[in-house]
A and B are shown apart, each in its own frame.
Chain A
Amino acid sequence: MRKQGYQPLRVKKYIFRDLLFHTFYTLVSAATLGPIIWIFMLSFKTKKEFATNPLSLPRSFFLGNYINAFTDSLLTTFFMNSIIVTSIALALILIISTLAGYSLARIKFSSSRILFMIFVMLDGLPIYILIIPLYVMLNFLKLDNYLWGLIFTYVAMRTGVSIIIMRGFFRSIPSYLEDAAKIDGCNLLQSLWYIMLPIVRPGLTVAAIMNFIFVWNEYYLATILLSKMTLFTVPPGLSCSFMGRYTTNWPAMAAGFTLTIIPTFLVFIFLQDKIIKGWSTIDK
């Protein structure tokens, strides 16, 4: 939106504005990123250092916490389990919610509103009332000895929100695209796969990121619904190994947190671009 004008003045104006923006964003980023860096630093401290001054820089890079994290707890098992649970749950959630979201957004059928209400209801349920019945049911179905019980519970929990998201993104696409596809001869599924999906890629990514973070970091259900420690994912595994009733080994937990954040971080960086890609790929 630049007006053509006298260049020298404009250049100065924009340098000042850019500088302002950059300082502002750097401050904001410092506020959001700073604490995380602090946790990273914390993982290199000994317990005594933490007790005396929690906020200082570590005196030296004490790797003991990381070593402890692997020896005192079954961290590799926990990571493996987390990866299994998260990837399967994520795949299921995305597939199911895309299908349902698309049908609720685009297909005019009479029960769509009722179905959507059911899914909104699913989202609104507080999980705490159903923990005990859920546990009894999983136990009855013999699913609490395997990771499937947890996976299915996560899928059930997250489809509600994911369907709301996917439907929202599908609805915000102009319908003439779909009509054009129909004229071209695509049936429903083909138009979904070839036309709609690339357009709702931002929505899909948003749902993917949200569900990944949720499932990866989820603690309460995982602790209760998994019966064996060898089945634990990372959050219950960490707290189970390092968190006590009266004292907690925070530097060791910080090491665990740092290790936990890394996959999330990678996923986010990888997926971030997909959100920004907009119409440029579709205008053909």
Chain B
Amino acid sequence: MKKYSITLLTIVLFVVLGFSAFTAAAEQKIELKVWDVSFNEGYVRWWKNYVKEFNKANPNIEVTYETYETEAFKAKTAASIVAGTMPDIFKLNPGAIAFKYYTEGKVLAIEDLYDVSPYMPGIKEGCSFNGKMIFHPLYMVPFAIYYNKAQFAEAGIDLQKWADPTQPTWDEFIVACDKLKDAGFTPIAIGNASNWPFLAWVWILQNRFGGTKELIDAVSGVGSYTSPGFIKAAEVAQRFAQSGYFPKGFSSIGGNSMYILLTQGNGAMFYFGTWVIGTIKDNAPPGFEYGVFKFPSFPDGNPDSQRDIYSVLTAFAVSSTTKHPEAVAKFLQPLTTSYDVMLSYIKEASVIPAINGILEMAKTAGVDPVMLTVAQHFAEAKHGFGAWDWVLPAPVAEEMLNMSQPLSMGTITPKEFCERLEAKARQK
């Protein structure tokens, strides 16, 4: 009896499936597919809303917005690029790898699709190849140090006592860390399970010592990863990690647990991007107050880059296999031209879009003041740089990610770190 019912079920399902296949082919609408990686709920909610509104306003276009988790997203995009079935719009981070997509003809340049003048020049440069803007910048997430006001007060740290209240020097910073440690708090909230949080410290330190030029030279092969700025950065970072300021077992803390550290009081300072703001809103216990300051400066470091900011830049790429480039342009354009759209973007998703004049507008529109402060930092910076795991060529980036935990735990020396990067880059 059971076997018969299963056969029956199978036949029924086959028939249903067959029919559903036919109905799918019968639609006449223009279909656009968007693949993205969701990083917090506000962001996804905003996008889903935007897509809904867009679909309503354009009845002949149907946009599907899908989000995936990072590992699967990488595999999925890689597979679809090989097979040639890329979605019309998909997310990627501009860098060595991304520009290869353009040179191999897998993505179109957005400059060919619509007007790109509203973008901030620095961002335009980050998304351009040979002067032509290829990718549509989605957002920038500048990094800064967020701190727990209550714990700072209890440890007796007063920002006003610093030479510059918005940015301590490294020595002032270490003094603050020690004070927190003495007061029984964990100074730094960090979770290095995904390897890059600790590396972010290395990157910003290299910037403070060597500047962005050193980085660009190393990547392009003119310079080297063993330049003094790199080595000093690795040294300082390693010494810092070994000073007991990090939480216990930080190499295994990742994902959600990272944020809980700050809001639970298990870490007083958090060097992270503006996503934190949205997460704190969602997760913090009532009465949690926090502030922000820039990454510390080094009076004896590179004079040009003490105010530089590390910022993640994420962009959308338009695949070259898209059948409806005009529809794509129609979808993406309001993101550059409509200020209302932009403002709601900042508020809901707590990220900063890269349009000229958005900061002034944001000030008057009641955006979160901490967010504004960070945006201000970004505007004051001379240079910005992106995540090295996108800027560096893929094999070197992977090697670097792999060395993050050993470096932070002291099992490899800073010199070894740089030398291995150099060896990997010059391979072949």
What is A's interface to B at a CB cutoff of 8 Å?
47-48, 51-52, 84, 87-88, 91, 131-132, 135-136, 139-140, 144-148, 219-220, 223-224, 227-229, 236, 239-241, 243-250
Contact = CB atoms under 8 A, between A and B. Distances in A.
B75 A147 contact: no
A229 B87 CA distance: 12
Nearest to A241: B67
A51 B76 contact: no
Please list the 6 inter-chain residue pairs (A to B) with the smallest Cβ-Cβ separation, ordered nearest first.
A51-B283, A245-B39, A135-B79, A223-B72, A244-B38, A139-B83
A236 B284 CA distance: 29
B75 A51 contact: no
Contact of B69 (A91, A136, A146, A240): A240
Interface stretch (B126-134, B252-260, B419-427): B252-260
Nearest to A245: B39
A87 to B, nearest CB: 6
B10 A223 contact: no
Contact of B68 (A88, A136, A140, A240): A240
A145 B85 CA distance: 11
Interface string B1-15: 000001001100110
Interface residues of B, number: 44
Contacts, number: 111
A132 B80 CA distance: 8
26 contacts: A51-B263, A51-B264, A51-B282, A87-B9, A88-B10, A88-B14, A131-B79, A135-B82, A135-B83, A146-B17, A220-B72, A223-B75, A223-B76, A224-B76, A236-B68, A236-B72, A239-B69, A239-B72, A240-B66, A244-B39, A244-B40, A244-B41, A245-B37, A245-B70, A247-B256, A250-B256
Interface string B203-247: 000000000000000000000000000000000000000000000
- Tell me if A's interface is mostly helix, strand, loop or mixed: helix
A146 B67 contact: no
User: Which of A48, A247, A250 has most B Cβ within 10 Å?
Assistant: A247
A89 to B, nearest CB: 11
B255 A246 contact: yes
A84 B13 contact: yes
A250 B44 CA distance: 16
B13 A229 contact: no
Given A132-B78, A240-B69, A87 B263 contact: no
B259 A51 contact: yes
A14 B381 CA distance: 80
B287 interface: no
A281 to B, nearest CB: 16
A243 B255 CA distance: 10
Given A52-B285, A132-B82, A84 B17 contact: yes
